[in-house]
Amino acid sequence: MPTVEFTANLANQTHAPKCRVDGRNVRECLDAVFELHPKLRGYVLDDQNAIRQHVVVFVDGTAIRDRRAQTDAVRPDSELFVMQALSGG
């Protein structure tokens, strides 16, 4: 199962623990996390379910390309990191 880990700063705002979830792409993995922690959704996605402008999601070290629908593929042993972009500081 892929793991999803969040920037430590998110934990200052809301509950954002490291999770192990099912999912074949980034959206499925994030949706699985948000089912466990609903408040987290609005911190990572905007109101149209795109990745927020100043948030970056990495899959196995590479920033995802489809920020709108998050269809980037994920392997069973992938590591996802949800980071804050330098641009939003």
Partner 1 sequence: MSTKLYLGTRKGLLEAVRGTNGWKITRMSFLGVQVPMLLPDARDGALYAAVEHGHFGTKIHASRDGGATWEERACPTYPPKPDNYVDVANPMSQEPTPWTLKKIWALEAGAGEGELWCGTIPGGLFHSTDHGASWRLVESLWNHPDRAKWFGGGADWPGIHSILIDPRDKQRLLLAVSCAGVWESRDGGESWQNIGEGIRAEYVPPDQAGDPGIQDPHRIAWSVSNPDTIWMQHHNGIFVSHDGGKNWREITNAAPSAFGFAVAVHPRDPQTAWLIPGVKDECRVACDGALCVMRTQNGGETWEQLRAGLPQQHAYHLVFRHCLDVSGDGRTLAFGSTTGSVWISEDGGDSWERLSAELPPVYCVRFGP
Binding residues for partner 1, rule: CB under 8 A, are 9-10, 13-14, 39, 42-44, 46-50, 52, 54-55, 84-85, 88-89
β-strand pairing of 19-20 with 3-6: antiparallel
- Residue 61, sorted as left (phi over 0), alpha (psi -120 to 50) or beta, turns out to be left
Closest CB to partner 1 among residues 32, 83: 83
| CB of 33 vs partner 1, minimal distance in Å | 15
| CB of 77 vs partner 1, minimal distance in Å | 28
The answer to whether the beta carbons of residues 66 and 72 sit under 8 Å apart is yes
Residue type (1 letter), 1:
M
| CB of 9 vs partner 1, minimal distance in Å | 7
